[in-house]
A and B are shown apart, each in its own frame.
Chain A
Amino acid sequence: MVIENVLAALNELATFQTALLMMIGVAGGLIAGAIPGFTIVMAVVLTLPFTFGMPAVQGIATMVSVLVGGLSGGLMAGILTGIPGTPSSVATTFDGYPMAKKGNAGLALGLGVWSSFFGGIISAILLMTLAPQLAQVGLEFQPWDYFMLVMFALTITASLAGKNLVKGLLAGVVGLLVRAVGEDEAVGMARLNFGNDALLQGFDFIAVLIGLFAFSRLLHDVRDPESAKRRLSGGEKQFTVNIEHLQAIKTIFKHWTLLIRSSLIGVFTGVLPGAGGSIANILAYDQAKKTSKNPEKFGKGTPEGIIAPESSNNAVEGGALMTLMALGIPGDVTAAVMLGALLVHDIVPSPTFIAEEPVLAYSIFLSFFFATFMMLGLQSGMLRVFVLVTRVRMYMLAAIILGLCGIGVYAINNIEFDLWTLLWFGILGFLMRQFGFPLAPMILGVVLGNIAELNLARAMAITTDLTPFVTRPWALFFLIIAIFSAVFPIYQNNRGQEKWTLFYLPLACFAAAVPLFMMGGLPRPTLAALVVLFGVYTLWRRAQSGWKLSPAVADDVTISEE
């Protein structure tokens, strides 16, 4: 069955036009990812209007290609200039740049490219094999469970998106409110439109997203007149580097456990709603350093310091696409844009999607796989383009992108109101950045608002009794992890200083095990037992050390806007 679906999907993708568009997409993504200030989200969003006229498979394959290219593009800037092209490649600069400065730029780039490739491939394989399994689990979800899953996604995004949880939650709630404007999903009554007919259709999600992210970000980047006039990445430098492929592959194979562990960290981070590449690369780097035989070499140009972040950040999107395709819940902001792209092409991801539209689903999986191969082939060529692009000045890039946004956003629905939406949300996004409000929870709020409302309406239609929100195992599970993720920033701030933080992890394990036990069967109660054992073991270890507070080692885990 799977092979049949894969072959059918292959047939859909194996056209010259699709392959060409995917190559252009990967190349565009690589360049976009390499430009500091030009984020992956911006690249994917700007590609979207171009895909309107394409068949669904072709359009989505192009978007996935831009995404994969963007994930890998950041390493070029990070290694050669020390300025990460995207937040996903921040940790790559810690060792990539020192290695390049020592004269090993070719090896550093090779390690980055091949780690990205292997991370992407591991992620693609897991995506293809695990997404259908996750969809099976998703079929168990009832409206109460879905509603609580959305609440969990918003809470964890808010808790990871900044140091102030309240600001994150406020951003998420404002996102939900933005989505509530216009005719309601269930019965079509006008809401919060203040008599304005244009608002009856609500705000277009893509226009809101481009305004909040691209528009506001560009204006933020040109705020300082002097830096706006400078070349990107201080592009006065000339780079004549040949990527050392063979040496890089040998080095990576020497550290194959690190590669697999970092890729798995990436996939897991991607599956987790709200967390993305910006967290995964730091987590993987931190883990690599902790488990290395030579931790003292980190930060001075060690290969492990490049392999870990680059394999993990490319693996993230496989995980994010997994939750998106199987549950219809985007794992991060980039996946939220992908959800918008799928909806534009009349594709609505849900637990039944993979079973009902297997060819389309496997086409998306395969395009992720092929794009990773294309990224490998195009990376060397793009190095020259990257050098050219760095000669562009920031203000030029900002003006051009704003101009292109003006055309691209109009093309979504062919209505002028979307351009006004772009402007208003551009101003709102700019102000939010200035006042320290994270944008990721707001985006998720806009994306998930109607899913939450629809499921609430369905739940209320079944019964007006509210207890299923806390008595159904899945709903309770999401509620518990939502509460613990809300407390996470407080735990993070007090770790190593307050006694209660010693009990946070064991308590989270015990609490999460309760709904798992309630689910019945054999595997889940077994998993619950293991989780409880881990909690007990952690308590025992802490008791053995006399409940001593140990200073926090890792840096704070927060999302940088992609």
Chain B
Amino acid sequence: MRRLNQDAVIAIFLILASGVLFWSTFSIRSPDYGVLAPSAWPRVIIIVLAILSVIYLIQSVGKEQPAADQKAQAGRQPGVAGWLVYWKNPIFCFVLFLVYLLTLPLLGSLIGGVSFVFILMSILGGISKENVLTHATLALATVGGMWIIFTYGLEVILPQGVIFSAF
């Protein structure tokens, strides 16, 4: 039954999102010239989205969760804690990337990038004496190498960050 709920929830979310988006199209200004109003195309897409979402909702009613999906998540413990444990690696990645973005003005792409790769490797692969050295070397060589290519080879100005700019 869980699959039914999941699909139905997505379908309901999409229907609601269609409603909000359709409502927002009324704030799109139309110029006095041109035949196709700027709001026309988004409205067509949103109407199709809403119709498909309703079909999706109808489809999801009365459907069991596929056996393959049930098997794929068989090892998952119930509850929020189980969900967090099951998805911990992707969650770490997202959170770390979010931290990387938030600290970009401070750390810049070199220090921030190397730190991001090193910390992510250490979280995903575990920390041991050999690992730390390998992770640090790989992070420095790859991100550092790419930073050098972009900065000096391709002359792309990457975010320097407050710390790096001080030197």
Interface residues in chain A, defined as those with a beta carbon under 8 Å from any beta carbon in chain B:
49-50, 52-53, 164, 166-167, 169-170, 173-174, 176-177, 180, 184, 186-187, 189-192, 194, 218-220, 222-225, 228-229, 393, 395-396, 398-400, 402-404, 406-408, 410-411, 414, 416, 419-420, 423, 426-427, 430, 435-436, 452-453, 456-457, 460-461, 464
7 tightest Cβ-Cβ pairs between the two chains A and B: A395-B124, A403-B117, A189-B38, A219-B90, A399-B120, A53-B154, A184-B38
* B19 contacts across to A, CB distance below 8 A: none
Give Cα A406–Cα B116 distance, bound, in whole angstroms: 10
* B154 contacts across to A, CB distance below 8 A: 50, 52-53, 411
Interface residues of B: mostly helix, strand, loop or mixed?
helix
Q: Is B101 positioned at the interface, with any CB of A under 8 Å from its CB?
A: yes
Give Cα A399–Cα B150 distance, bound, in whole angstroms: 19
Q: Residue-by-residue, is B115-131 near A (CB-CB < 8 Å gives 1, otherwise 0)?
A: 01100110011100000
Choose one: A173, A420, A436; the contact of B45 (CB below 8 Å). A173
Give Cα A1–Cα B125 distance, bound, in whole angstroms: 59
Choose one: A170, A186, A220, A402; the contact of B52 (CB below 8 Å). A170
Give Cα A416–Cα B90 distance, bound, in whole angstroms: 22
* B48 contacts across to A, CB distance below 8 A: 173
- The residue in chain B whose Cβ has the minimal distance to the Cβ of A422 is B97
Q: Residue-by-residue, is B32-60 near A (CB-CB < 8 Å gives 1, otherwise 0)?
A: 01111011011001101100110110010
Q: Is B93 positioned at the interface, with any CB of A under 8 Å from its CB?
A: yes
Q: Are B158 and A410 in contact (CB under 8 A)?
A: yes
Q: Residue-by-residue, is B75-112 near A (CB-CB < 8 Å gives 1, otherwise 0)?
A: 00000000000011110011001101100100001001
Q: What number of A-B contacts does a CB cutoff of 8 Å give?
A: 180
Q: List 12 A-B contacts (CB under 8 A).
A: A173-B52, A177-B49, A180-B45, A191-B28, A192-B42, A219-B89, A224-B89, A402-B117, A403-B142, A404-B142, A416-B159, A461-B35
Choose one: A184, A192, A396; the contact of B21 (CB below 8 Å). A192
Within the complex, the shortest CB–CB distance from B158 to chain A, in Å, comes to 6
Q: Are B35 and A53 in contact (CB under 8 A)?
A: no
Q: Are A166 and B150 in contact (CB under 8 A)?
A: no
> In this complex, which of B97, B104, B157 has the most chain A Cβ atoms within 10 angstroms of its Cβ?
B97
Q: Is B24 positioned at the interface, with any CB of A under 8 Å from its CB?
A: yes
Q: Are A407 and B143 in contact (CB under 8 A)?
A: yes
Q: Is B70 positioned at the interface, with any CB of A under 8 Å from its CB?
A: no
* B121 contacts across to A, CB distance below 8 A: 395-396, 399
- The residue in chain A whose Cβ has the minimal distance to the Cβ of B126 is A229
- The residue in chain B whose Cβ has the minimal distance to the Cβ of A420 is B101
Q: Are B116 and A403 in contact (CB under 8 A)?
A: yes
Give Cα A8–Cα B127 distance, bound, in whole angstroms: 56
* A223 contacts across to B, CB distance below 8 A: 87, 89-90
Give Cα A79–Cα B42 distance, bound, in whole angstroms: 47
* B98 contacts across to A, CB distance below 8 A: 423
